[in-house]
Amino acid sequence: MSAQWKPLIEHQGYLRHFWHPVCTLSEFERANASGHGPMSVKLLGEQLVLARLDGQMVAADDRCVHRSARLSLGSVCKHEGKDTLQCPYHGWRYDETGEVKLIPACPDRPIPARAKISKYDCEVRYGIVWVRLDSSFNCTEIPYLGDWDTPGMKVIVADSYLWETSAERRWENFTDFSHFAFVHPGTLYDPFFATHPTVNVDRTNGELRFQLAPPREMYKNLPEEAPMGDFTYRCSMPYTVNLEIKLWKDDSKFILWTTASPVDEKTCRNFMVIVRTEDNQPDHVHLAFQKLVLEEDRPVIQSQWPIELDSSELSVSTDKISIQYRKWHRELSQAALGGYEEFKASLLTEVIEEH
Ligand code: FES
Ligand SMILES: [Fe+2]
């Protein structure tokens, strides 16, 4: 990186304390003919293996303690009546705690105490597999997703997709009002309405919350599939956006939920869930429209350089959401260095603007 840039966030360790998605449950089940993995995923630069052992989803280091083969190339098989993950190289078998239960080449010898891989917090929620690499602070939760199990609402969990950008830039793209007129003219926005008001941005319960009412006058110039209406954002830190839209066409609720997962510093894996009031549209109509919007964004966002947020960038008043977002990231990064109490206070202290 050139000397003229300085990354906005220096210490990335705080991100390990958050829950991040690594794949959808459907992607996991399709990854191996067994339906239970194993599957290789990458989070914050770390190679992980996922496997479902006796119904429990397990995330662990994707590296055998014996001779470092990738366990994700192995298989799930039974050992003494229980599911284990078998290494592809010499067949060592690991149980759901990460301990080796069998060394086939010398089954009668004691298993060394070090024969264990590190495993991580792992849960399935919203049809998505979530992993937390560091549970030592234990004050973070899986992000908010509104109306996931509300009767009468229809849910789509889309396949995930990779973008060559940082998760921070992806989040900022999704919450950036002033790009609509230029990146999505005629799709989501009428370019005539390029200006927009500054909004109040609050911190509540680990979320950034804000609202925007785009100009209704442009509604008649947009395609019917565009889910346009009044926007309410609840954004669980660090990368999730729960955008609830009160549709102009009939006041019904449409939730566009998205989160970016930091695969590494230069790549993010993106997840999208759509929750909508029962309508007569098939799922593919909504997915195709979102794909169109994403393809308008992608080349522009992947062109931003450097890929990480840079401290020399110039902000104006209407970048308020991005300014607040960056500020909170920097605070969390510093607070994590100070330990649990500082981190928890930074994440959970309520900050409400004068309304
Ligand atoms: S490398 Fe895994 S069993 Fe040898
Ligand atoms: Fe966009």
Q: How far is the CA of 322 from the centre of ligand 2 (A)?
A: 14
Q: Which helix (H) or strand (E) holds 48?
A: strand 46-53
What integer pLDDT is reported at residue 223 of this predicted model? Answer: 87
Looking at ligand 1, which atom is closest to the CA of residue 90? 3
Under 8 Å CB-to-CB from 141, ≥6 apart: which residues?
A: 19, 206, 236
pLDDT band at 13 (very low <50, low <70, confident <90, very high): very high
> Would residue 5 count as lying in a domain?
no
- Give the mean model confidence (pLDDT) for residues 197-208: 95
Q: How do residues 18-35 score in pLDDT, each as one tens digit? A: 999 999 999 999 999 999
Ligand 1 site, residue 89, Cβ cutoff 6 A: yes
Q: Do 285 and 177 share a structural domain?
A: yes
Domain range holding 330? 153-348
pLDDT tens digits, residue range 247-289?
999 999 999 999 999 999 999 999 999 999 988 889 999 999 9
Do 160 and 264 sit in the same domain of this protein? Answer: yes
What are the tens digits of pLDDT across the range 303-332? 999 999 999 999 999 999 999 999 999 999
Query: Which residues does 323 contact at the CB level (< 8 Å), separation at least 6?
Result: 315
Lowest mean pLDDT among 186-195, 203-212, 253-262, 305-314: 186-195
Domain co-membership, 36 together with 81: yes
Which atom of ligand 1 is nearest to 88's Cα?
2
Last residue of some domain: 72, 101, 132? Answer: 132
Q: In ligand 1, which atom is closest to the CA atom of 74?
A: 2
Q: Is the dihedral of CA 81, 86, 92, 98 positive or negative?
A: negative
Nearest ligand atom owner, CA of 297? 2
- Whether residue 222 has pLDDT greater than 90: no
Q: What is the pTM of this model?
A: 0.96
CA dist., res. 323 & res. 267, Å (int):
22
Q: Is-cis flag, bond preceding 21, omega within 30?
A: no
**Measured distance CA(264)–CA(286) in Å, rounded:** 29
The enclosing domain of 68 has a CATH number of 2.102.10.10
> Mind listing the pLDDT tens digit for each residue in 88-137?
999 999 999 999 999 999 999 999 999 999 999 999 999 999 999 999 99
Q: Are 293 and 209 within one domain? A: yes
Structural domain contains residue 4: no
217 and 326 assigned to the same domain: yes
Contact 170, 260 (CB under 8 A): yes
Tally the domains of the chain. Answer: 2
Comparing 154 with 223, the larger pLDDT belongs to 154
Residue 1 pLDDT exceeds 60:
no
The response to whether residue 92 sits with its C-beta less than 6 Å from ligand 1 reads yes
Query: Where is average pLDDT lowest: 33-42, 92-101, 183-192, 230-239?
Result: 183-192
Q: Are 163 and 223 in contact (CB under 8 A)?
A: no
Burial 110-129 (b: 16+ CB within 10 A, else e): eeeeebbbebbebeeebbbb
Amino acid identity of residue 91, one-letter, is: G
Are 83 and 42 in the same domain? Answer: yes
Q: Which of 98, 132, 166 is the last residue of a domain?
A: 132
In a domain, residue 299? The reply is: yes
Residue 284 inside a domain? The answer is yes
Q: Model confidence at 225, in pLDDT bands (50, 70, 90)?
A: confident
Answer yes or no: do 67 and 207 share one domain.
Answer: no
Q: What is the mean pLDDT of the chain?
A: 95
Residue 144 lies in a domain: no
- Residue 329: strand, helix, or coil: helix
Residue 142 lies in a domain: no
Q: What is the pLDDT of residues 61-85, one digit of tens each?
A: 999 999 999 999 999 999 999 999 9
215 and 119 within one domain? no
Q: Are residues 122 and 184 in the same domain?
A: no
pLDDT at position 3 is 57
Query: Would residue 216 count as lying in a domain?
Result: yes
- 128 with 163, same domain: the answer is no
Domain boundary among 67, 99, 132: 132
Tell whether 76 and 171 lie within a shared domain. no
pLDDT at 2 (0 to 100) = 55
Position 191 scores a pLDDT of: 82
Q: Is the CB of 70 under 6 A from ligand 1?
A: no
**Tens digit of each residue's pLDDT (9 = 90 or more) over 153-171:** 999 999 999 999 999 999 9
Query: Is the beta carbon of 66 within 6 A of some atom in ligand 1?
Result: yes
Section 284-300 average pLDDT: 96
Same domain, 95 and 182: no
